[in-house]
Amino acid sequence: MKAQNRAMKRWPAMILVLLTAVMAAGCQLLGSPSGRLLSQEARIPLHEERMDARSWSTRDLAVHYRAELTGSLLDMEGEVIFAPLLRNNYSSLEQFQLGIIFADDGGRILDMHGLMSSIRADFRQPHRFRISLRVPPGAHYYAFRYTGQAVEGGSPDGGGRSMFFYYPVK
């Protein structure tokens, strides 16, 4: 009887792990933007050189970064600064992901990579990243994408939640 009770107590955790795995796999398979178009206004030309002190921003945040493309290897480092819109209206950042999308000369998406992620973090601090990744053959443009969830109230468990995102895929 005790063994059966222990097994029953493990079911909720096992179901949660299974659902998380299925959702993660589904996001990778179903959410693939390959072949779709990157919006014209989001396209940043990819140059084979060092790109010093670049900035990109939306109403939610600014990304200050440096990058260097050598052959097919892109080295990028930078920081995300959240805009007053988020910092002044929410108490914390429950989750955040920043990514990069590569597209060919016609804007057709070739590949997408994550640059950084944060969980239960402070809006007031810069969120830094550093990454080296392979650029897909034929890439002429890149664009940033992000998704996040902000929390109102005095603790990450209290108050309302609000999603914010930028996904420049047509």
Predicted confidence band of residue 17 (pLDDT cuts 50, 70, 90): very low
pLDDT given at position 145: 98
Does 93 share its domain with 20? no
The model carries a pTM of 0.77
CB atoms within 10 A of CB 155: 9
The phi and psi torsions of 32 (rounded to 5 degrees) equal -65, 120
Nearest-5° Cα angle at 60, 58 to 61: 70
Q: What is the CATH number of the domain that holds 123?
A: 2.60.40
- Do 15 and 68 lie in one domain? The reply is no
129 and 70 share one domain = yes
Whether 32 shows a pLDDT value over 70: the answer reads: no
Q: Are residues 69 and 103 in the same domain?
A: yes
**What percent of the chain lies above the pLDDT cut of 90?**
59
- Contact at 8 Å (CB) between 87 and 164? no
In a shared domain, residues 41 and 7: no
**Looking at the predicted structure, is the pLDDT value of residue 58 above 70?**
yes
Q: What is the pLDDT of residues 83-104, one digit of tens each?
A: 998 998 898 899 999 999 999 9
Paired tokens of 169: 């895929």
Residue 20: predicted pLDDT: 37
Q: Are residues 62 and 142 in the same domain?
A: yes
The enclosing H or E element of 70 equals strand 61-70
21 and 40 co-located in one domain: no
pLDDT of residue 33: 75
Note whether 50 and 14 are same-domain residues: no
> Do residues 23 and 42 share a domain?
no
Domain count, the chain: 2
Task: Give yes or no: residues 14 and 94 share one domain.
Answer: no
User: What is the residue range of 24's domain?
Assistant: 1-31
Reading the block at residue 29, the tokens are: 């398979």
Same domain? For 74 and 128 the reply is yes
Strands 161-166 and 109-121: unpaired
Secondary structure (3-state) at 94: strand
